[in-house]
Amino acid sequence: MKKGLLVKKSLLACALALPASALAAEGLSYSFIEADYLIQDIDYYEDNDFFDNFAEDIDDGDGFNLRASAALTDNIFTFGSYSSTEADFAYVDDGGGFVNRREDVKTLKLGLGFNAPISDTLDFVATGGYTDVDLGDFSLGRDENDDLNSGDDIQEAFDDLNEDDSDGYFFDIGGRAQLASWLEFGAGVRYTDLDYGDSTSVFGNFLFELSDNVGINLGGDFGDDVNTYSLGVRYSFN
């Protein structure tokens, strides 16, 4: 397998750690919109002997994440997110040439969640859904030559999506707690399975509530190869 392809797959794996779900007890809202700034700490190559000839590890990437959640019932909500991060990497290819590249990693996540109160201030939360990760332009199976007005091209795009090894599913199990009138805490375990591999991580966040609707969200996701940190603004619809 070409090392360039392995690097691409590693970049795709980095996107697994991006925030996926909204984490009802009193004060907890499952209807909100949020925008986050992301920083990734990528450690994939440090313990991997196969990549000893790389001139440089992948630089830590940064980018943004947009997400929204909407309560459908008292216990069911739907959510989605779109993120874009950027990373530089340099390596020696099979021909001995030095390659220096920059890749954008685009991630889409869509899903449903279930919440149930454990106490007046604590909810159990479980979520799951579909995820798709693409390098460069976000395609969902399309390429630049496909014509969306052509039935054959649309079918080909769906066929490409079915064969795409960068899409799959994820599950989160955790909870949300209203620690104080101005502070919320959420944490859990995340499992993500793409066709080319899977990963497990733990995540958590603190939401500092500036008002009934506006809060500052500080979060993190911690896995074996990638740690992701986020800082954003959330507007809740109470």
Q: Convert 99-113 to b/e letters by CB count within 10 Å (16 or more is b).
A: eeeebbbbbbbebeb
Higher pLDDT: 23 or 197? It is 197
Q: Check residues 182 and 26 and name the one with the higher pLDDT.
A: 182
The residue type found at 146 is D
Which pLDDT score, from 0 to 100, does residue 157 have?
46
Give dist(CA 48, CA 46) in Å, integer. Answer: 6
Segment 52-100, tens digit of pLDDT = 444 344 556 789 999 999 999 999 999 999 988 886 655 555 555 555 5
Average pLDDT, the chain: 76
Residues 6+ apart with CB under 8 A from 35: 64, 65, 66, 232, 233
Please say whether the beta carbons of 40 and 236 come within 8 A: no
Strands (E) across 43-161 are located at 62-71, 76-92, 98-117, 122-135
Contact 3, 98 (CB under 8 A): no
What pTM value is reported for the model? 0.73
Phi, psi (degrees; rounded to nearest 5) at 210: -80, -25
Domain ranges across the chain: 3-140+169-236
Cα separation, 34 vs 186, in Å, equals 15
User: Is it true that domain 3-140+169-236 has CATH number 2.40.160.40?
Assistant: yes
Is 213 in a helix, a strand, or coil?
Answer: coil
Contact predicate 131/20, CB 8 Å: yes
Amino acid in the structure at residue 98: F
For tokens 């969200």, the residue is: 217
- What are the CA-CA distances from residue 168 to residues 146, 164, 225 (Å)? 23, 9, 19
Residue pLDDT, tens place only, 2-17 = 555 555 555 555 555 5
